[in-house]
Chain A
Amino acid sequence: MQIWRINRRTQTCTRENVPESWHHLGGRGLSARILLDEVDPTCEPLGAKNKLIFAPGLLVGHMLSSCDRISVGAKSPLTRGIKESNAGGSTGLQMTRLGIKALIVEDDPEDDPWRILYLDWQGARFDPAEEFVGLGVYDTARELLQRYGDKAAMAIIGPGGEQRLASSGIQNLDKDRVPSRIAARGGLGAVMGSKRLKAIVIDARDGEKPPIVHLDAYRQAQKEYNTALMNHPQTKIYAEYGTAAMPRMSNGFGGLPTRNFSMGQFAGVEQISGEHMRQLLLDRGGESDPTHACMAGCVIRCSNIFGGVDGKTIVSPLEYETIGLLGSNLEIPSLDTIGRLNWEINDLGLDTIEVGAALGVAAEAGLMEFGDEERAMELVQEIRKMTPLGRVLGNGAQITGRVFGVERVPVVKGQAMSAYEPRAIKGTGVTYATSPQGADHTAGLTIRAKVDHLDPSVQASLSSKVQVNNAGYDTLGACAFAGFGFAAAPQTIRDLLNARYDWQVGDDILKLLGQETIELEREFNRRAGFTAADDRLPEWMTREPLPPHNSVFDVPEQDLDRIFDWD
């Protein structure tokens, strides 16, 4: 495996040996290492000194179920700190087939026009891309598949990334070539836009799978892991209901963000529930499917294809966070409407969580009535038209709140919270507050722990554990849901790595990788100027009680400050 370094100014690609200290890392940990080693943490995120990193996780390359994720990293234009955002789909797998351990895109394009960065076994080519500028993600993917063939993987930005909106992400093709697996959080689409790259195309037809040193041992560990995954009851629930099983669960705990994070339960929750969605999709038939894999070989298949009454796809996938932030958060009780908003936001190449949160703040400011589905779509079209209002909304919830003078803005480190209310699920509140990523639920969700989610005294240690685990999974390239399989058969992480790389790691490898990743990220943020004051929820959440429990966020500050003191 090699490091592929793309210089955008000199239009060169150099393939380098992997430095010693990068060897044992992949995915999020590797991205953090590279950013700390090579990027000035005080740099301008959309400037020449920032770098865009694509790093497949350590286990990526062999269609190990649910373990082919790609991590994308840079300094974030949204949080102004370190950012990693990962995605499923085919990008990670195909990059490893070209022998890429990490792709680093650096420097300033200067006067060079927009390009498609085309990668194959020979190296890199900068193809013309002017005809794609301004084009939505879905049309771009269709055109690029025609031009480069349908075996290629792709990372694409939409008009949002081109226009450097801080809510923009990078879309990847799923295994069915739908460009909807988004590395969404933190504005990485804008970083790619600042390098004037419309898409990265990975053509690995002449590539080969990365080597496995001890094949028999690998297959044995793979079998154990697969068995654990298939036997876990949660796997079937994800296959049948997907992440959309969450609305009624969060609602049951009084933690479903509703009406711009002012309530924890939504009267219309039944109509946006996973149970309702499943029935709808089964009844509608056609292209609808409640069970769908985004990565080839995934046995969990948590994704879905959400179709309308006419049998045609509205959007794929339709996920919990989107249902929360564009549904209950806006008091919109219609999956069809949420699905259509999702498609528009995907096509613009934006993060549905950030845009949903911005719309909630906009509603608070009087720009729309809560529940007004047409008006919500109009505001998304403002973003498409790139009007000043659209640009404000497209830059996320915090900017929208500042411009319109709203205090109830649900962000940490400038990034919007996802669909878990931190005043009702306090452990996730601790994660939001303390994660180097900003308010990020995938960094450490706590809702499934059997603790009293309202008790402030037990949350910090819980969040610490899940943050370390998830940082570990992100470094392995494992989907969060693969965690069920790994938790039931933890020895397989050690065994898979040792068999593949001829290492001798122990049972604690997940923890070690996770801790190292978080330490690297915290150091980057420290050098970027972050302090303990940034590891806090917004002040209003410590003061304003959330119905139905009428709770405030009251985890003690000293608990937040000590959460990463693991020695």
Chain B
Amino acid sequence: MIVSVQLHTILQQQTPEGLVRSIEVSLPADCTIADLIAHLGIKLTPDALMIAVNGRVADVHQRLSSGDHINLMPAISGG
């Protein structure tokens, strides 16, 4: 399946490819956000991340479907 991913601020520099803002990712069916993060080589731990799938807050266990739009953002607690 293919999903499109928007990377935010410092995450744009964390993929092996260098500066990446948005990317189409091909993943096996039944993948979760956690699989996507591992695939992209993102260094932040899950609770340091804010995740939106198709505009809605999601956690790392969420299963993905083809055509999903994902936003990966560094999270901040408080404030």
Interface residues of A (CB under 8 A from B): 232-234, 236-237, 240-241, 245, 248-249, 252-254, 270, 274-275, 424, 445, 448, 450-454, 469, 480-481, 483-484, 486-488, 548-549
Query: Within the complex, which residue of A240, A452, A454, A483 is in contact with B78, where a contact is CB–CB below 8 Å?
Result: A483
Nearest-CB residue, chain A, relative to B52: A252
B75 near A450 (CB under 8 angstroms)? Answer: yes
Give bound CA distance, A493 to B12, whole Å. Answer: 34
Query: Within the complex, which residue of A240, A454, A484, A487 is in contact with B9, where a contact is CB–CB below 8 Å?
Result: A240
Whether, in the assembled complex, B39 has its beta carbon less than 8 Å from a beta carbon of chain A, the answer is no
Q: Tell me whether A483 and B9 are in contact in the complex, defined as CB-CB below 8 angstroms, given that A252-B55, A452-B56, A453-B57 are known contacts.
A: no
Query: Within the complex, which residue of A237, A451, A481 is in contact with B57, where a contact is CB–CB below 8 Å?
Result: A451
Give bound CA distance, A157 to B52, whole Å. Answer: 42
Contacts of A488 in B (CB 8 A): 77-78
Contacts of A275 in B (CB 8 A): 8-9, 12, 21
Give bound CA distance, A1 to B50, whole Å. Answer: 44
B78 near A484 (CB under 8 angstroms)? Answer: yes
Contacts of A237 in B (CB 8 A): 9-10, 74, 76
Query: Within the complex, which residue of B12, B52, B57, B74 is in contact with A234, where a contact is CB–CB below 8 Å?
Result: B74
A487 near B78 (CB under 8 angstroms)? Answer: yes
B71 near A252 (CB under 8 angstroms)? Answer: yes
Contacts of A270 in B (CB 8 A): 21
26 contacts across the A-B interface (CB closer than 8 A): A237-B76, A248-B71, A252-B6, A252-B8, A252-B55, A252-B71, A253-B55, A253-B57, A253-B71, A254-B55, A274-B9, A275-B8, A275-B9, A424-B55, A448-B50, A450-B50, A450-B75, A452-B56, A452-B57, A480-B79, A484-B76, A484-B77, A484-B79, A486-B78, A487-B78, A488-B77
Max chain A CB contacts within 10 Å: which of B44, B48, B75, B79?
B79
Query: Within the complex, which residue of A232, A253, A445, A483 is in contact with B52, where a contact is CB–CB below 8 Å?
Result: A253
**B interface bracket (residues with beta carbon within 8 Å of A):** 20 to 34
Nearest-CB residue, chain A, relative to B48: A233
Nearest-CB residue, chain A, relative to B44: A233
Whether, in the assembled complex, B73 has its beta carbon less than 8 Å from a beta carbon of chain A, the answer is yes
Give bound CA distance, A480 to B76, whole Å. Answer: 13
B57 near A450 (CB under 8 angstroms)? Answer: yes
Give bound CA distance, A360 to B55, whole Å. Answer: 24
Contacts of B48 in A (CB 8 A): 233
State how many angstroms separate the Cβ of B64 from the closest Cβ of chain A: 16
Give bound CA distance, A236 to B44, whole Å. Answer: 14
Q: Is the contact region of chain A dominated by helix, strand, or loop, or is it mixed? A: helix
Contacts of B74 in A (CB 8 A): 233-234, 237
Give bound CA distance, A445 to B77, whole Å. Answer: 12
Within B3-53, which residues are at the interface with A (CB < 8 Å)? 6, 8-10, 12, 21, 44, 48, 50, 52
Q: Is the contact region of chain B dominated by helix, strand, or loop, or is it mixed? A: mixed
State how many angstroms separate the Cβ of B55 from the closest Cβ of chain A: 4
Contacts of A445 in B (CB 8 A): 79
B79 near A454 (CB under 8 angstroms)? Answer: no
A241 near B9 (CB under 8 angstroms)? Answer: yes
B9 near A245 (CB under 8 angstroms)? Answer: yes
Query: Within the complex, which residue of A245, A448, A451, A549 is in contact with B79, where a contact is CB–CB below 8 Å?
Result: A448
Contacts of A484 in B (CB 8 A): 76-79
Contacts of A452 in B (CB 8 A): 56-57
State how many angstroms separate the Cβ of A297 from the closest Cβ of chain B: 19
Query: Within the complex, which residue of B10, B59, B75, B79 is in contact with A481, where a contact is CB–CB below 8 Å?
Result: B79
B78 near A249 (CB under 8 angstroms)? Answer: no
Provide the B55-75 mask, 1 if CB < 8 A to any CB of A, else 0.
Answer: 111010000000000010111
B55 near A548 (CB under 8 angstroms)? Answer: yes
Contacts of A453 in B (CB 8 A): 56-57
Contacts of A241 in B (CB 8 A): 9
Contacts of B9 in A (CB 8 A): 237, 240-241, 245, 274-275
Nearest-CB residue, chain B, relative to A447: B50
Give bound CA distance, A480 to B78, whole Å. Answer: 10
Nearest-CB residue, chain A, relative to B49: A450
A249 near B71 (CB under 8 angstroms)? Answer: yes
Give bound CA distance, A486 to B21, whole Å. Answer: 31
> Which 5 A-B residue pairs are closest in the complex by CB-CB distance?
A487-B78, A252-B71, A483-B79, A234-B76, A254-B55
* Given contact pairs A232-B76, A275-B9, a sample of 4 additional A-B residue pairs in the complex whose CB atoms are under 8 Å apart: A237-B10, A453-B57, A480-B79, A488-B78
Give bound CA distance, A487 to B39, whole Å. Answer: 32
Contacts of B55 in A (CB 8 A): 252-254, 424, 548-549
State how many angstroms separate the Cβ of A154 from the closest Cβ of chain B: 29
Contacts of A448 in B (CB 8 A): 50, 75-77, 79
Give bound CA distance, A483 to B78, whole Å. Answer: 7
A249 near B10 (CB under 8 angstroms)? Answer: no
State how many angstroms separate the Cβ of A448 from the closest Cβ of chain B: 5
Contacts of B50 in A (CB 8 A): 249, 448, 450
Contacts of B52 in A (CB 8 A): 252-253
State how many angstroms separate the Cβ of A112 from the closest Cβ of chain B: 44
Contacts of A252 in B (CB 8 A): 6, 8, 52, 55, 71, 73
State how many angstroms separate the Cβ of A546 from the closest Cβ of chain B: 11
Contacts of B59 in A (CB 8 A): 450
Give bound CA distance, A237 to B56, whole Å. Answer: 22
Contacts of A480 in B (CB 8 A): 79
Give bound CA distance, A234 to B77, whole Å. Answer: 9
A487 near B79 (CB under 8 angstroms)? Answer: yes
Nearest-CB residue, chain A, relative to B47: A450
Q: Tell me whether A454 and B56 are in contact in the complex, defined as CB-CB below 8 angstroms, given that A234-B76, A448-B50 are known contacts.
A: yes
